[in-house]
Chain A
Amino acid sequence: MDSPYSLLFWPLAALIAVSAIAMVVTQNIVRAATWLLFTLAGVAGIFFLLGADFVGATQLLVYVGGTLVLVVFGVMLTAQGPFISMKIGAGEWAIAATVGIGFFSVLAYALINFNLEIPSTPTQATAPAPSLTDPQQAAAKPPRSLAPSIVLGTALLGFESATPVEPLTGVQNVPASLVSPGVPNATPSGLPRPPRLRTRMAYLLPFEIVSVHLLVVLIGAAYLARSKRRRGVTP
């Protein structure tokens, strides 16, 4: 609470909370789109705060710059008539508010009472979020000294250097066929090394799947939204 970190986090969290709730409450779809803009921008700020620069930039580019513009175009293309009312009644509002508050209470209760054990590393003990630009941390963690976009890019292209060097925690009884070959089973100190599940391919296959998926979506959306000729009109 006494660091510039919290000075940045709490205004962002308040911005996200206020605009998300306002988006649910408002009845005007254009105002909802505007509140969604602020929510998405706040989430991008949260990503920057967490040290995920590339994800934050992607959030700004794809969500705020792409998806939201798409949604606004949808709003404009499906203009509402003046007599079409899409409001819901007070009783439904009461039910929705009750369900929402109850749902959030359950989630918050589970979050706060669940004992989250963070693996304590020397770099994590002082800073709340890992900062990749700190030279001391970069020296302590050589694989993380690269810029996060470079690390992400190598992981997506399937280079082996992207596989993390820290052993996985919480993974036990892994069959021997899943452990990547070439990894010694014992550390120099003699302790057995926990098995690792990383393969050499890293994330090349998901990357390709997403690429093909995007192509299919592009074609499908263009096909679905194409302008049809009216009946009776000669082509």
Chain B
Amino acid sequence: MTDSGWLQAYLLVGALLFVCGALCMATKRNAIGILMGVELVLNGATVNFVAFASFNPAFQIEGQIFALFVIVLAAAEAAVALAIVLNFYNNHTTVDVDTAEELKG
């Protein structure tokens, strides 16, 4: 395989992760399942960053640094979102997102 063929293979893996994460966010009714979908989407983006960086030597540092930032921010996002989910569970005794309708207009 050529270089661009390998790059396409990596990007396909990233695209698959992205699609699975988006589907996970859309189909799960458990709030924690939605969180896992977000993690998958972010991982797909990270794979794209690192793959592009690895195949373009001018951007080798940039891609890896942005991948690191994405990982760190994903961890922060998971912490805050889990705190919100725990609060929601304390108030509603469920994590079904379909029951969160107080803000419905």
Contacts and interface: CB of A to CB of B under 8 A. Distances in A.
B3 A124 contact: yes
Contacts of A88: 27, 29
A20 B42 CA distance: 13
A155 B65 contact: yes
Contact of A43 (B36, B47, B73, B86): B47
A39 B10 CA distance: 14
B30 to A, nearest CB: 5
Contact of A51 (B11, B20, B54, B96): B54
Contacts of B60: 130, 144, 151, 164
Nearest to B29: A86
B86 A58 contact: no
B71 A62 contact: yes
B76 interface: yes
Contacts of A39: 17, 40, 43
A63 B39 CA distance: 9
Contact of A74 (B1, B32, B65): B32
A156 interface: yes
Interface in B68-86: 68-69, 71-76, 78-80, 82-86
A118 interface: yes
A152 B68 contact: yes
Given A17-B16, A40-B43, A75-B32, A55 B68 contact: yes
A52 B8 contact: no
Interface extent on A, as a size class?
A: 35 or more
A152 B82 contact: no
Contacts of B100: none
Interface in B45-67: 46-47, 50-51, 53-61, 63-65, 67
- Count chain B CB atoms within 10 A of each CB in A6, A17, A46, A112 and give the residue with the most: A46
A11 interface: no
A84 B54 CA distance: 47
A43 B85 contact: no
A52 B50 contact: yes
A167 to B, nearest CB: 7
Interface in A112-159: 112, 116-119, 121, 123-125, 128-130, 141, 144, 148, 151-152, 155-156
Nearest to B11: A111
A70 B51 CA distance: 28
A214 B76 contact: yes
27 contacts: A9-B9, A20-B40, A24-B27, A39-B17, A43-B47, A46-B47, A52-B64, A55-B68, A59-B46, A63-B43, A63-B74, A67-B75, A71-B32, A71-B39, A73-B82, A78-B86, A84-B94, A96-B26, A100-B19, A128-B1, A144-B57, A151-B61, A203-B65, A217-B79, A217-B80, A221-B79, A225-B83
Interface of B: 1, 3-4, 6-13, 15-24, 26-33, 35-37, 39-40, 43, 46-47, 50-51, 53-61, 63-65, 67-69, 71-76, 78-80, 82-87, 89-90, 94-96
State the 6 A-B residue pairs at the shortest beta-carbon distance, nearest first: A224-B83, A225-B83, A20-B20, A217-B76, A107-B15, A166-B58
